[in-house]
Homo-oligomer: A and B are copies of this chain.
Amino acid sequence: MTFPVVGMVGGGQLARMTHEAGIPLGIRFKLLSDTPQDSAAQVVNEVVLGDYRDLDTLRAFARGCDVITFDHEHVPTEHLRALEADGIPVRPGPDALVHAQDKGVMREKLDALGVPCPRHRIVSGPEDVAAFAAEGVPEGGEGDGFPVVLKTVRGGYDGKGVWVVHSAAEAAEPFRAGVPVLAEEKVDFVRELAANVVRSPHGQAVAYPVVESRQVGGVCDTVIAPAPDLDEALALRAEEMALNIAKELGVVGHLAVELFQTRDGRVLVNELAMRPHNSGHWSMDGAITSQFANHVRAVLDLPLGDPRPRAKWTVMVNVLGGDYPDMYSAYLHCMARDPQLKIHMYGKDVKPGRKVGHVNTYGDDLDDVLERARHAAGYLRGTITE
């Protein structure tokens, strides 16, 4: 048998769903996980427990793997270079992945490529933040240029490591971690979009339809595929932009480009993620080939699957932890109410606000599809009780 071994670093839900998508391909899937309780560790046969920040652990794990890929972007870049030097294919590779690890590097690269981004600059302290804010005031304009968005260049996710500050006085906190801080203009956006693409080592790439992504409290809440009422030319421009970024950065696997759609009809790049992404979860039930299946195919350099939608509308709503720890008993109501509902739970303990699953719905009538997904997610969380 020549079926390859895919080594997945990180035991979260993305690894869990990638394993699920890999089963039909008959490949072997090996997991490096922190604990046996991790989301993916519960469902994968070959689990190695260990710390991805330790190079020896990574090296031992990588031995016998045909390729290494990731559940998250936190593996130190130098470790990835060491694995590559050992002859292990790392996908995406460190030269690409650094753009998803370090927001400073990402902004610099996108600037060089001419990709539209929010105005931004690495800042050195609260006074520098005030100066950055002031630079955004048009000549003869009023105000001090605040609010400004501050981000630590490494380590943030789901709203963590991000601050919206309204004055220099508020701007002290982000500098306390000792990590470089990126200041960005607070974009007056109409909505957030995401362009998801997948690229393989030999350069084949596919683009999923651009989706609308609605955030609540900095956390993704709802994704609608495709984005409703999106101008066709703008959708095409966003897809081309994502494909171009994937190519120029040498991405292998899934790339999510989070975008702001501005009032004046432009799209600006907010964030990059180089792994299957929350904004692509709809594809599990809504696309011919899911983001997870295509990520596996890409990292194995297999021809990619068709990313087109299977339904007119697909809606994903995240299930966050609420006050009730028992979500299983809610299945009875949710499944009986909607026999077409797709529940995806991650095997995680319920904690308030924690992403513990998502639901997908699809159909021809967007209002109906949205209502069904919201109802199910709310009922599972416990915020809807009838």
Contact = CB atoms under 8 A, between A and B. Distances in A.
Given A3-B347, A347-B26, A302 B331 contact: yes
Contact of A2 (B19, B289, B326, B343): B326
A14 to B, nearest CB: 13
A195 to B, nearest CB: 19
Interface stretch (A38-46, A69-77, A135-143, A207-215): A38-46
Contact of A1 (B44, B306, B349): B349
Contacts of A306: 339-340
Interface in A159-190: none
Given A25-B345, A29-B43, A339 B20 contact: no
A269 to B, nearest CB: 28
Nearest to A344: B24
Given A325-B1, A326-B1, A340-B305, A335 B23 contact: no
A302 B332 contact: yes
A357 B42 CA distance: 25
A307 to B, nearest CB: 9
A346 B3 CA distance: 11
Interface string A327-371: 111011001100111111111011000000100000000000000
A168 B23 CA distance: 48
Contacts of A349: 1
Nearest to A342: B24
A27 B172 CA distance: 45
A79 interface: no
A116 interface: no
A215 B321 CA distance: 49
Nearest to A311: B310
A12 to B, nearest CB: 14
A352 to B, nearest CB: 16
Nearest to A36: B45
Contacts of A45: 41-45, 47
Contacts of A372: none
A25 B343 contact: yes
A357 B303 CA distance: 19
Contact of A16 (B23, B41, B288, B343): B23
A44 B329 CA distance: 24
A346 B24 CA distance: 7
A26 B326 contact: no
Contacts of A336: 303
Contacts of A43: 19, 23, 29, 44-45
A89 interface: no
A41 B28 CA distance: 11
A347 to B, nearest CB: 5
B28 A20 contact: no
Given A42-B45, A305-B341, 6 more contacts: A16-B23, A26-B327, A26-B328, A26-B347, A45-B45, A297-B335
The 6 closest A-B pairs by CB, nearest first: A26-B345, A303-B335, A303-B336, A306-B339, A24-B344, A20-B23
19 contacts: A2-B329, A4-B328, A17-B23, A20-B20, A24-B345, A26-B328, A26-B345, A26-B346, A26-B357, A29-B43, A41-B45, A288-B340, A297-B335, A303-B331, A303-B335, A303-B336, A303-B339, A305-B335, A306-B339
